[in-house]
Amino acid sequence: MRVKLFAAYALAALVLMAAAVLTAPHASYSRQDREAPFAAASRKHPAGTDALGRDRLARVAAALLLSLTGAAVASAATTAAAAGIGALAAFGKAHVGWTAMLICDVFLALPWLFLLMMVRSALPLTTSPASSAAITFLVLAALGWPACAQAVYRGARNLRNSEWMFHARAGGLRSAQMMRSVIPNLIPLLLPQFLVSIPAFVIAEANLGALGLGIGEPLPSWGGMLLELDNSATLFDTRWVYFPVALLITVLLLLEAAAGEA
């Protein structure tokens, strides 16, 4: 419980810090300082600049907020879809449940990274950065629900076979009335699924971005920043910048993982 509380507070502190960095006067993640590419830390750029002279601190802060928001929204969509499908499969007729679980099996048999690459590579060449971000997280949400739906299905089946549900059915309660009691009982199952999906989506986006198939420039993303590591000469010249960024990413993901696991 202590770990969970600490992780939640630390995560909130990181988000507030990122918001403070972005709302500071003259802070911009996309403005280029053409005279200062790869600049060292200074009062103007506390974490230096990248190859195009953009402020690294603002980019890291924006990437944090974008990644977390996108992952949280995708996770919420995934959890909602899983809750709907899992409950429908458990409480619907036998053939509905069988079909829903078959669809889950089909999705689980699809290697998600290859599917993501396939869909991302088939997007129009003129896709805007904001659309690319939205589509990336939408695809993550669309592919992330089956495992969660199977967990919800198992939980809902147990509920359906519980004694109080037999009493409710025997007492003549309609399905809609029973669902009002079922959904609160599924929340302990759905909340961990929601929390566990967030770091998974953050890592998935980072991996896609590192392959050049994530969020489009000039929007910042951690995957896109990892692409900069391709140039080892740049890395060794500016390693003092990357280590804090790498540390921040690791700490953030650890906090999310701790919040999800606790």
Asked if 247 interacts with other proteins (CB under 8 A), we say: no
In degrees and rounded to multiples of 5, residue 205 shows phi and psi of -65, -40
Alpha carbon 69 to chain centroid, angstroms: 7
Quickly list DSSP for 147-158. Answer: HHHHHHHHHHHH
- Minimum distance of other proteins from residue 230's CB (angstroms): 8
13, 229, 237, 240: which one contacts other proteins (CB under 8 A)? 229
Positions in 124-163 near other proteins (CB under 8 A): 124-125, 127
Q: Is 176 helix (H, G, I), strand (E, B) or coil?
A: helix
Do 132 and 87 form a contact (C-beta atoms < 8 A)?
Answer: no
Total residues interacting with other proteins, rule: CB under 8 A: 44
Q: Helices 56-91 and 2-23 sit at what angle, rounded to 10 degrees?
A: 130
Positions in 189-218 near other proteins (CB under 8 A): 199, 203, 206-207, 210-213
21, 140, 226, 248: which one contacts other proteins (CB under 8 A)? 226
Identity of residue 238: T
Tokens encoding 21: 């960095």
Positions in 162-181 near other proteins (CB under 8 A): none
Tell me the helix, strand and coil percentages in the chain, rounded to 5.
Answer: 75, 0, 25
Closer residue to other proteins (CB): 70 or 182: 70
Closer residue to other proteins (CB): 159 or 225: 225
Alpha carbon 180 to chain centroid, angstroms: 29
106, 179, 183, 187: which one contacts other proteins (CB under 8 A)? 106
The CA distance from 178 to 130, in Å, is 41
Pattern 109-128, binding to other proteins, x per CB under 8 A? xxxxxxx-xxxxxxxxx-x-
Residues in contact with other proteins by CB under 8 A are: 102, 105-106, 108-115, 117-125, 127, 199, 203, 206-207, 210-213, 222-223, 226, 229-230, 232, 235, 246, 249-250, 253-254, 257-258, 261
